[in-house]
Homo-oligomer: A and B are copies of this chain.
Amino acid sequence: MSGLTHFDDSGAARMVDVAAKEVTLRTARAESLVTMQVTTLAMIRSGDAAKGDVLAVARLAGIQGAKRTGELIPLCHPLGLDAVEVQFEFVSEQTLRIEVTTRVHGRTGVEMEAMTAASIAALTVYDMCKAVDRGMLVGPTRLLEKSGGKSGHYVAAPATTHGGSSIRTD
């Protein structure tokens, strides 16, 4: 299993040694989709400071989740983030798209911070709306882009079916 860097030769899990890597600016972008009933999405969309702003809560949960990544993902390095941004977009009548951008100067990449933030934001949308729509799909979450470090620039291929409408029909 030589490809899995989180294990040593004996199969023991480890936090990979990045001491020899250079500190460079590293960025990542991840997205998470939340698929729900048409009426639930409409309710979120109409929310504002007066009626209850689901997305404002989810955005903060995502930003704060990014900062806890090193505690949540066992073999992640703790990182001092330079920036976290969380954006929302309604990509269909049933689907909310969450995009997170993270940046850090560090010896290792910041993908897991973006992935974790997007997932926590998506889970928070579920928590806020579960009283009216228990069947919501939280995710999938995927990496869109990363840059910085030796492994270079990665850009994900476009998803062929977006928004998950094919996997949620009620």
Chain A contacts to B: CB under 8 angstroms = 1, 3-8, 10-19, 25, 32-33, 35, 43, 46-54, 56-57, 59-61, 63-68, 70-87, 103-107, 111-112, 115-116, 119-120, 122-124, 126-132, 134-143, 146, 154, 156-157, 159-161, 164, 166-167, 169-170
Contacts and interface: CB of A to CB of B under 8 A. Distances in A.
Contacts of A35: 140
A77 B82 contact: yes
B52 A1 contact: yes
A170 B142 contact: no
Contacts of A132: 3-4
B82 A18 contact: yes
B57 A64 contact: no
Closest 4 interchain pairs by CB? A139-B139, A7-B52, A17-B83, A137-B140
A19 B43 CA distance: 27
Copies in the complex: 6
Contact of A123 (B10, B84, B85, B112): B112
A49 B48 contact: yes
Given A3-B131, A7-B51, 14 more contacts: A1-B43, A8-B85, A11-B50, A12-B86, A14-B63, A60-B74, A68-B68, A68-B71, A68-B72, A123-B141, A130-B143, A135-B143, A157-B170, A161-B167
B170 A167 contact: no
B11 A51 contact: yes
